[in-house]
Amino acid sequence: MYSHSSESLIKQAREIQESELQKFQSRLGKLLHGKELGHEAVDSLQRLHLILSATKYTRTLPPELHKRVKALLSSPAEQFQVLGSAVLRETLPPSGQEVNYNQENLLQLNSHAAALLLSQAGSRADLSSLCAQLLRSLESRQPEGPANSLTHTLPILNAVLTHSPECLTEDHVTLLSKRLVDWLRYASITQGGGAPSGGFFTGPRSRQPVPTAELDGTVSGDFFTVLCVGQGFTEDQWMNVYSFSMLRHWLLTYHSVSNGNNTADTAPANRLQLSLSLSLSHSFSNDDRSEVDGSVVSMVSATSSSSRLLPPKERLREKAFQYCQRLIEQSDRKAHKKTDTDLQKACLVEAVCILDCVCGEDASLVYRTFPCIKALFGRLSSDLSFARVLLPIAQFYLNHGEMAAVDCECVWKLVFGRFPAELFNNQFLAHELLRFLRLNLESLQLRVPQYSHSFPNLLKFLAWDSPAVVDDFVDLLPSLVTAGTAVELLHTLLDLPCLSATLVLQVRSTCLPISEPGGRGLLSLDAFRSQSLRGLFLFLLRGEAGSGDTINRLSTLHELLAETADWPRVVQCAQTVPVLLHIFFNTVVAIADEKLLAHLVQVMLERSSLLLNIPKYNKEIYRVFSCHLLRLCKLHPSLVVDQSNELLEFAGATAKVYSKEEIYTHVVWVLGEYLSVSCDSRCSVRLITSCFETLEAVLFEITSSAPPPGADCPVPRVVTSLMSALAKLASRSHDLIPRVSLFLSKLRTVTRGGSVAWCSDEEDLVAIVTRGEELWSLLKAPGVAQSVLTPPPLVTTPQWHRDANVAMPLRLRALTNLTHSQ
């Protein structure tokens, strides 16, 4: 598809020499001068466009040529309008030829010329002029004018609204509201006959006007909408389509009210209105519907109040409301073509969103709308192919459910239950559902009690397609961290790659036959399907938190999934876990009490040897654990004494020196630093001694012999950390000092003999020995040793000007600078 020829074309266009370009431009200028413009002109213009657009640096055209190209914008042949507009959009007008939005005769603008004006607008004033001109042309149009000249007006106005809604004045808004009402509600309901391809039967005899039809072929019984079809269309029917296409944006721009206003202020005034509306909607919807054939009479027109007396804005709201209700009715019909079925779904989404918007503006509409939305929900909730339509419905329930006192339980069961569990691999649904969560976080946390327990399900989106949704989870994860579920969440995050593998197995197991001859992934797939091991996988696939933090046979599960460690999906998922863990810990620190933090430390120590063995994954996790272990202990030093048993158990396992040196180093460090009476009064001499002995044993072991077969030499930092920790502990319990000193002097002797089996690098050995000597000499003065090795907080967190001793020199220095600067 993308070939070498395309690449070389672009290169040529970029590197064209100035002289060649000038020749080309003058040739083109001559071509455009002629009366009849043919293929050569088209090709040359196209090449000019390529030359201009191939580079991000702007090239300007010679003024003559620019003028000629500009003249093309009003050429009768559309191809030249298109090319003229495209070329001019890629360049800038030479000075003196800039567009003056006020003076130009914009009334006869075609769509392509308008596009150019829109793209080069430099200020609000420009856009305001453009809008004013467009609206003027809307008003003063001749009825026999070409149909297309009106249709681009609405898209242009919509484009302006995005950036600068103030470009339309109050009058403009009123005017356009009125026109929108006309087009939406009162477009003709007979088919347009404009197409000349009428076949045998066009003749001077005018045909009987044929009404438009619905998508299932029955005759339309109510006003025209985008879901009506005909052989040809009249202009106002086209405008109906364009109007509806921009309606939601229009309402959001000019009609939206923040949700807070509705409940408090308008409640008393609306109560009477609400009861009236309620009785109205009930009487019509219950009785008439059953009697009347749905294709002939639509309920919508029958229920409309006489809205002629309303001001334009409110009238538009009412008509929008009716239009949406009609669309919802029409979407129930069985369309003949697939594209129309897809359109019906899109219309449902749009209709519900618009209804949500107008109900937000006028709370009385909620009671008229809810029966319809509820019925729609009932109709669609069992069909997962309508999942994306059900999301705007969920938004509607969230915004207005409380006011209408409707039970939303079934909605949340879908959104937090079935959708993530069964549609985790639908990337569009994932995007929209996660967006829904992000935008409504506060509301959901308030109104949906099961939100914080739904993370096992929600994380399925992440486990399946991490790159696409990790961004959303970075935003959502903090809201899922609660004190009650934090431990389970930590386990779930650590096992996310396992969940990823399980989901792949789940999808494969439904697609592949039971017995696959020599296929990939056989072991894990068999395990997934076997009765005895199923429970392990089912735990990962659970929908809600609360049934247990994790399973006992986690190591079995990891073994079964060992072969999945190189599956791309699993690897991609594993890459996102460290980031999420950081977010988890940052959030949990703020809400956790000491008991929970202690539990988390335990989990970190346990899980460091219980992870799915993916290359690099384990190392990354250890790094995260180390960072946060340190942080937690710094914040709550008493944690170390509290969890001393677990920490010592970890530190006493010599094997960890070789396989988990990062986290091992940190554990040793926190033990040395915080196992003291000043951090926690429960710390006893016995505890210090037992810790000392544990670390001493490990240090002896790793420095007395070569590393076990298959392992590298211990990282020097581990050795020095152990030595420092021992020294710190000894400085607090002076009986231990002789033991450390003995070891350190022995170390010096041994290493003087040359190389050692446990350290391959000479420089490292020197560093270790130097450190040993420093500690040895420090310990000769026990009183000093303690404050040097574990300085009091006064020294490590200086208070600068708040500290009486430190403040004086600072003050003097500041005064000196002030007085001596001149």
Partner 1 sequence: MVRCFLIHTVCPVSALGSGESRVLYSRVFGPDESVWSDQDRGLSPEERRLLQKEKITAVARQVRSAVSLYREASGRLLVETVPGEEALALQEADGGVVRLRAGDPFSEEMSALWLGVQSLGFTLVCEPHENLLLAEGTLRNLTRHCLETLHMLGQGSEVLLRSNRVDALLSRLLPHGQLLFLNHRFAQSLEKEVTAYLAK
Phi-psi region of 453 (alpha: psi -120 to 50; beta: other; left: phi over 0): alpha
Question: Shortest approach of partner 1 to residue 249 CB, angstroms?
Answer: 7
Q: Which residues pair with 229 in a beta bridge?
A: 213
Nearest CB to partner 1, comparing residues 226 and 632: 226
**Stretch touching partner 1 by CB under 8 A, among 304-312, 341-349, 577-585, 616-624:** 341-349
Residue nearer to partner 1 on the CB measure, 174 or 341: 341
653 binds partner 1 (CB under 8 A): no
Distant-in-sequence, close-in-space partners of 479: CB < 8 Å, separation ≥ 6: 441, 445, 451, 452
Q: Which of residues 8-27 bind partner 1 (CB under 8 A)?
A: 9-11
Q: Judging by DSSP bridges, how do beta strands 213-214 and 228-229 pair with one another?
A: antiparallel
Q: What is the DSSP letter of 230?
A: -
The answer to whether 616 contacts partner 1 (rule: CB under 8 A) is no
Q: Which of 69, 115, 600, 718 binds partner 1 (CB under 8 A)?
A: 115
Element (H, E) at 228: strand 228-229
Nearer to partner 1, 119 or 547 (CB): 119
Query: C-beta of 162: minimal distance to partner 1 in Å?
Result: 5
Nearer to partner 1, 62 or 792 (CB): 62
- Phi then psi for residue 335, to 5 deg, are -75, 155
Adjacent-strand bridge partners of 232: 192
Q: Which is nearer to partner 1, 469 or 600 (CB)?
A: 469
Report the residue from 66, 317, 388, 460 that binds partner 1 according to the rule CB under 8 A: 388
460 binds partner 1 (CB under 8 A): no
Closest by Cα among 238, 225, 504, 249 to 343: 225
CB count within 10 Å of CB 34 equals 10
Residue (474 or 767) nearer to partner 1, CB: 474
Choices 347-355, 676-684, 752-760, 788-796 (CB under 8 A): range interacting with partner 1: 347-355
Q: Is residue 394 classed as helix, strand or coil in its secondary structure?
A: helix
Question: Taking CB under 8 A as the criterion, which residues in 394-423 touch partner 1?
Answer: none
- The nearer residue to partner 1, 390 or 759, going by C-beta atoms, is 390
Helix, strand and coil content of the chain, in percent to the nearest 5, comes to: 70, 0, 30
The whole-angstrom separation of Cα 609 and Cα 360 is 53
Among the listed residues 150, 171, 309, the one whose alpha carbon sits nearest the alpha carbon of residue 237: 150
The verdict on 112 binding partner 1 (CB under 8 A) reads yes
Q: Which residue is it, tokens 């076949």?
A: 199
472 contributes a contact to partner 1 by CB under 8 A: yes
Does residue 542 bind partner 1 (CB under 8 A)?
no
In the window 182-201, what residues touch partner 1 (CB under 8 A)? 195
Give the per-residue contact string, 131-160, with partner 1 (x = CB under 8 A; - = no): --------------------xx-xxx-xxx
Exposed / middle / buried, residue 809 (Cβ in 10 Å: 0-12, 13-18, 19+): exposed
> Does 114 contact partner 1 by CB under 8 A?
yes
CB 36 within 8 A of CB 77: no
Yes or no: say if 121 and 91 are a contact pair by the CB < 8 Å rule: no
* Binding track, positions 69-98, relative to partner 1; x by CB under 8 A: --------xxx--xx-xx-----x------
* Nearest distance in Å: CB 599, partner 1: 34
Please say which residue, 35 or 205, places its beta carbon nearer to partner 1: 35
Q: How many residues bind partner 1 (CB under 8 A)?
A: 93
What residues between 212 and 251 interact with partner 1 by CB under 8 A? 215, 226-233, 238, 241-242, 244-246, 248-249
Phi, psi of 220 (to 5 degrees): -70, 135
Residue 483 CA: distances (Å) to CA of 489, 582, 597, 635, 749 = 10, 17, 10, 18, 53
Name the residue nearer to partner 1 (CB basis): 118 or 715: 118
**What is the rounded distance in angstroms from the CA atom of residue 464 to the CA atom of residue 573?**
8
Contact code string over 555-594 relative to partner 1, x by CB under 8 A? -------------xx--x----------------------
Question: For residue 819, what is the DSSP state?
Answer: H
> Rule CB under 8 A: is residue 343 a binding residue for partner 1?
yes
CA distance 380 to 382: 6
Closer of 2 and 201 to partner 1 (Cβ): 2
Is residue 57 within the footprint of partner 1 (CB under 8 A)? yes
d(CA 811, CA 807): 6
The token pair at 22 is 């000038």
From the CB of 15, what's the least distance to partner 1, in Å?
12
Pair 323, 184: CB distance under 8 Å: yes
Q: Quick one: which of 121, 612, 675, 702 contacts partner 1 (CB under 8 A)?
A: 121
| Candidate segments 136-144, 273-281, 462-470, 804-812, binder of partner 1 by CB under 8 A | 462-470
